[in-house]
């Protein structure tokens, strides 16, 4: 499942500097269909500070950094700040001093975190599902995956709850260099974004290729759920297992992030969102895969949304986009679904894998016809064959 959001980058920091950060003003009632910001949470450990902003629906947001004094500013257009939210919190950490949140103007909520951290030491991304319908997460400090999140948990996100984790593909970083620099991370789990990759060159054909297949969600995270109760995690696993069979038969070395209804992180249900997603990236990265494919089912609030979408990392290689396009086209041709196109994104798993990567939303599980299609063996087989067709076309004959 994916929420629809678009990232905007603030381009004029001098403009921001000229504006008072927290205007005390009454902007009146919430406008219909605006997102309600209904929570601000802060947690800190020796290694990092996490600020979470909760809201009732997905939003667009921009991130900008200011210096002297150092601040990170997040603007959320189309948002209304609930009066119940505490407006000013002292963090008192070496990573961040204070966070303020305010209704900046009639339509915009602004969050300002006082921090001296450089862009390699903070990460801002969004998550959906779980503790709240949608939230913006801001991490400051040691944000390398070797330390990510382990010490910081909010009670509502603890293990054991089936709602513990948001939809996994929604982890989205914007406006920052996302991971620690190479010297900062131990082991094989460094999260290096795709923009540092060279364009790969492949020999033709699937045979001999190393391919990592990632069935979305699993275990305590069911993903989206269809009108008759079919879970996204079950569809993605069934398709992935068939893709594994077809690719193996074609001579590929296939790595699966999971082959059962489980979380991928060794921490299982107690893993944070980024730990769970990084564990999936690690399998592809540590095996030096030639490509990575994450399989998902889409979902939307209205039942008529339908079709297939291919996603690639916005700042990744051209090969990533070509892969996303080929897989999406292959699925559409076999399944007979409507094409929703190939789109750029900031999803965690395509961002932190170091090879051409795509996330495919096969169809909408929230649509009764597509739920039925993807709960039947015929749909499973066609989707898998479409994916393999696309991979074959990507590598060429
Ligand atoms: Zn999903």
Which DSSP letter does residue 270 get? G
- How remote is the CA of residue 206 from the centroid of ligand 1, in Å? 26
The HSE-up count of residue 191 (CA atoms within 13 Å, CB side) is 28
Please give the model's pTM, rounded to 2 decimal places.
0.58
Between the CA of 363 and the centroid of ligand 1 the distance, in Å, is 11
Question: In this predicted structure, what is the pLDDT of residue 191?
Answer: 56
Per-residue model confidence (pLDDT) at position 29: 55
In order of their start, the domains of the chain are 13-184 (2.60.40.3500), 194-395 (3.40.630.40)
> Among the ranges 92-96, 172-176, 209-213, which has the highest mean pLDDT value?
209-213
* Confidence bin at 197 (pLDDT 50/70/90): confident
For residue 173, what pLDDT is reported? Answer: 33
User: How far is the centre of ligand 1, averaged over its atoms, from the C-alpha of 297 (Å)?
Assistant: 5
**Phi and psi, residue 77, nearest 5°:** -70, 155
- The tens digit of pLDDT for each residue in 311-341 reads 999 889 999 999 999 999 999 999 999 999 9
Question: What mean pLDDT comes out for the span 89-108?
Answer: 88
Distance 394 CA to ligand 1 centre (A): 23
Say yes or no to pLDDT of 260 above 80. yes
**pLDDT tens-place string over residues 280-302:** 999 999 999 999 999 999 999 88
- Cα(132) to centroid of ligand 1, in Å? 17
123-181: pLDDT as tens digits: 888 887 666 778 888 888 887 653 333 333 333 322 222 222 333 354 443 333 333 22
Could you tell me the distance, in angstroms and rounded to a whole number, from the CA of residue 209 to the centre of ligand 1? 26
- Ligand 1 centre to CA of 29 (Å) is 34
CA of 139 to the centre of ligand 1 (A): 23
For residue 103, how far is its CA from the centre of ligand 1 (angstroms)? 32
| CA of residue 261 to ligand 1 center, whole Å | 14
Distance from the CA of 166 to the center of ligand 1, in angstroms? 9
Whether 44 shows a pLDDT value over 60: the answer reads yes
Mean model confidence pLDDT for the chain = 81
User: Which of residues 169 and 388 earns the better pLDDT score?
Assistant: 388
Q: From ligand 1's centre to the CA of 33, what distance in Å?
A: 24
Q: How far is the CA of 223 from the centre of ligand 1 (A)?
A: 5
Looking at the predicted structure, is the pLDDT value of residue 101 above 90? yes
Q: What is the predicted pLDDT for the residue at 242?
A: 98
- Look at the chain and count its residues: 397
Q: How far is the CA of 84 from the centre of ligand 1 (A)?
A: 32
B/e letters for 166-175, b = 16+ CB within 10 Å, e = fewer, are: bbbbbbbbbb
Residue 133 is predicted with a pLDDT of 76
d(CA 240, ligand 1 centre) in Å = 13
Residue 147, pLDDT score = 35
- Burial string for 226-265 (b: 16+ CB within 10 Å, else e) reads beeebbbbbbbbbbbbbbbebbeebebebbbbbeeeebbb
Ligand 1 centroid – CA 295 distance (Å): 8
Are 304 and 281 in contact by the 8 Å Cβ rule? The answer is no
Q: How far is the CA of 2 from the centre of ligand 1 (A)?
A: 6
**How far is the centre of ligand 1, averaged over its atoms, from the C-alpha of 341 (Å)?**
17
């Amino acid at each position: 499942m994916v929420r629809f959001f678009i990232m905007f980058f603030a381009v004029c920091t001098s403009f921001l500097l000229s504006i008072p950060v927290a205007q005390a003003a009454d902007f009146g009632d919430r406008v219909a269909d605006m997102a309600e910001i209904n929570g601000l949470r802060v947690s800190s450990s020796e290694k990092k500070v996490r600020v979470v902003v909760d809201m009732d629906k997905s939003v667009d947001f921009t991130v900008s950094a200011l210096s002297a004094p150092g601040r990170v500013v997040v603007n959320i257009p189309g948002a209304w700040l609930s009066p119940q939210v505490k407006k000013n919190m002292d963090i008192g950490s070496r990573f961040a001093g204070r966070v303020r949140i305010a209704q900046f103007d009639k339509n915009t909520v602004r969050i300002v975190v006082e921090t001296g951290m450089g862009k390699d030491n903070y990460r801002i991304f969004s998550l959906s599902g779980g503790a709240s319908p949608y939230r913006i997460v801001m991490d400051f400090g040691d944000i390398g995956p070797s330390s990510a999140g382990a010490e910081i948990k909010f009670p509502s996100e603890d293990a054991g709850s089936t709602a513990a984790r948001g939809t996994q593909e929604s982890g989205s970083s914007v406006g920052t260099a996302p991971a620690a620099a190479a010297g900062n991370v131990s082991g094989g789990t460094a999260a290096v974004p795709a923009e540092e990759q060279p364009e790969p060159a492949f020999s033709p054909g699937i045979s001999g290729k190393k391919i990592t297949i990632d069935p979305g969600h699993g275990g305590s995270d069911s993903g989206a759920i269809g009108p008759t109760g079919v879970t996204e995690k079950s569809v993605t696993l069934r398709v992935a297992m068939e893709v594994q069979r077809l690719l193996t038969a074609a001579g590929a070395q296939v790595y699966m992030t999971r082959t059962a209804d489980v979380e991928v992180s060794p921490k299982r249900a107690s893993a944070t969102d980024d730990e769970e997603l990084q564990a999936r990236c690690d399998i592809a990265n540590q095996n030096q895969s030639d490509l990575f494919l994450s399989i998902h089912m889409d979902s939307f609030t209205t039942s008529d949304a339908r079709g297939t979408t291919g996603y690639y990392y916005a700042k990744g290689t051209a090969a990533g986009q070509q892969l996303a396009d080929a897989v999406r086209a292959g699925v559409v041709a076999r399944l007979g679904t409507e094409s929703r196109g190939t789109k750029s994104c900031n999803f965690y798993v395509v961002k932190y894998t170091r090879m051409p990567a795509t996330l495919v939303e096969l169809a909408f599980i929230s649509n009764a016809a597509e739920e039925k299609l993807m709960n039947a063996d015929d749909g499973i087989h066609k989707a898998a064959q479409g994916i393999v067709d696309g991979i074959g076309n990507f590598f060429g004959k």
